């Protein structure tokens, strides 16, 4: 991982991502964040269950957790202030999450080009070598929208694609 000339403020990224409304729903907190890699943890919550007969959390919870972490890891890998948008995300569900147990995730941004960042991650309970899910994602860099634009909607409409993060 080659660090950009003006690397981002990691503490600010952690604070911004933990404060996102949906990150708060998940109860997600960072265990670590470095340039291009990081890990998070979320507690088990019964309201996030997808299968009431087993108590297993909805796949969407894992998707949201990995998507958030991947966005943060990419943001930590590129120059301060670079706009990001998720281009795609692929999740492989390797085995069901255990009811009642906290979920952790780790991700790394393993390649950054002028326009695209590539990231991969794993979700697991205690041991990373017994993963619940694997993800691979790509993010567009500098998508044309600006967080400081007067009209967020107009700025978003001008974006070339993807989900801003």
Return residues touching other proteins (CB under 8 A): 19-25, 46-53, 57-61, 63-68, 71, 85-93, 96, 145, 147-148, 152-153, 155-157, 159, 161-165
Backbone phi and psi for residue 64, each to the nearest 5 degrees, phi listed first? -65, -40
Closer CB to other proteins, 142 or 162, in the complex? 162
17 vs 115: CA distance, rounded Å: 22
135 vs 62: CA distance, rounded Å: 10
Closer CB to other proteins, 77 or 123, in the complex? 123
Closer CB to other proteins, 7 or 162, in the complex? 162
Unique residue bearing structure tokens 């990150």:
23
Structural tokens at position 157: 């409409």
- Whether the CB-CB separation of 86 and 162 falls below 8 Å is answered with yes
Q: How far is the CB of 55 from other proteins (least distance, A)?
A: 9
Q: How far is the CB of 115 from other proteins (least distance, A)?
A: 15
- Whether the CB-CB separation of 149 and 157 falls below 8 Å is answered with no
Q: How far is the CB of 16 from other proteins (least distance, A)?
A: 8
18 vs 7: CA distance, rounded Å: 20
Q: How far is the CB of 48 from other proteins (least distance, A)?
A: 5
Q: Tell me if residue 155 falls in helix, strand or coil.
A: helix
Closer CB to other proteins, 10 or 146, in the complex? 146
- The candidate with the shortest Cα–Cα distance to 99, out of 51, 28, 41, is 51
Closer CB to other proteins, 6 or 51, in the complex? 51
Q: How far is the CB of 109 from other proteins (least distance, A)?
A: 16
């Amino acid at each position: 991982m080659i660090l950009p000339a003006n690397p981002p403020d990691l503490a600010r990224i952690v604070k911004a991502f933990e404060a996102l409304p949906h990150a708060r729903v998940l109860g997600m907190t960072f265990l670590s964040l470095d340039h291009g890699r990081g890990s998070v943890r979320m507690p088990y919550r019964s309201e996030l269950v997808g299968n009431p007969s087993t108590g297993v959390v909805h796949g969407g919870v894992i998707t949201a957790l990995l998507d958030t972490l991947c966005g943060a890891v990419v943001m930590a890998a590129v120059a301060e202030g670079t706009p990001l948008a998720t281009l795609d995300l692929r999740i492989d569900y390797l085995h069901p999450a255990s009811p009642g147990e906290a979920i952790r995730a780790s991700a790394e941004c393993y390649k950054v080009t002028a326009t695209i960042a590539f990231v991969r991650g794993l979700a697991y309970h205690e041991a990373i070598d017994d993963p619940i899910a694997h993800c691979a994602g790509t993010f567009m860099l500098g998508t044309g929208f600006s967080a400081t634009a007067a009209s967020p909607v107009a700025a978003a409409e001008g974006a070339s694609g993807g989900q801003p993060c």
